[in-house]
Amino acid sequence: MADLLDGLRGGLIVSCQPVPGGPLDRPDIVAALALAALAGGARGLRIEGVENLRAVRAATRAPVIGLVKTDRADSPVRITPTAAEARALVEAGADVVAFDATDRPRPEPLERIVGAIHEAGALAMADCASLADGRRAAALGCAMLGSTLSGYLGGAVPEGPDLGLVAELAGLGRFTLAEGRYHAPADAARAVAAGADAVVVGSAITRPEHVTAWFVAAVEGAGRGADTRVPA
């Protein structure tokens, strides 16, 4: 697995997660998005859902970070909340399994989820919201730490990425991924300068609904004399 990390280091990982229920939300289209991202130079992919992952794995041998998003009544944790889901992702072809590493009520302890990932032969990626999350995940043996959940645990979502958390996670000595609100190439470059080993970009590449809305807001705002800045 060291070769996998070396191959991702210094590169872009594209998150191919269409808007749920949108016109692109089909496994075959997700696979096409993945191939298009790789054709553009992406080093790896982040794919949600077992069926989407199977379709992508059938189309490419590129490194894939797999995850499942589940809405639960017993926990606010959505990203790969159980060991069973983690194992299913590895069986579908994930090289890495991403999971919510925040300190919130959860259906299963972090130790069980990380253990299941490792037993299945994959690397564990901790989606963090704080440095404390990263420290806890590193102690459990997670190879990859991401700033994925910073700004998404309640309240208003910030406009720009959390470069401070990227720098803090990088200080823990694990492979660090900058993820969350990277909407412009300049932001991705700043993340690398802050210490990220790789950068994950999603909406700005694979959610045209979001990108279209940014341009619509800018164009219509210009007509009203409003702030026309595209989200950072």
Nearest CA-CA partner of 18 in 164, 207, 151, 231: 207
Domains and CATH numbers, the chain: 2-224 (3.20.20.70)
What distance in Å separates the CA atoms of residue 201 and residue 212, rounded to the nearest whole number? Answer: 16
The phi, psi pair for 85, rounded to 5°, reads: -65, -40
Q: Tens of pLDDT along 123-136?
A: 999 999 999 999 99
Helix then strand count (H, E) for the chain reads 10, 8
Q: Tens of pLDDT along 188-220?
A: 999 999 999 999 999 999 999 999 999 999 999
Q: Which two tokens stand for residue 100?
A: 């919510």
pLDDT over threshold 60, residue 232: no
Tell me the average pLDDT of the chain.
96
- Cβ atoms 212, 218 nearer than 8 A: no
Q: Which pLDDT band, with edges at 50, 70 and 90, does 169 fall under?
A: very high
What distance in Å separates the CA atoms of residue 13 and residue 96, rounded to the nearest whole number? Answer: 12
Structure confidence at residue 179 (pLDDT) = 98
Q: Which pLDDT band, with edges at 50, 70 and 90, does 224 fall under?
A: confident
Mean pLDDT for 14-35 is 98
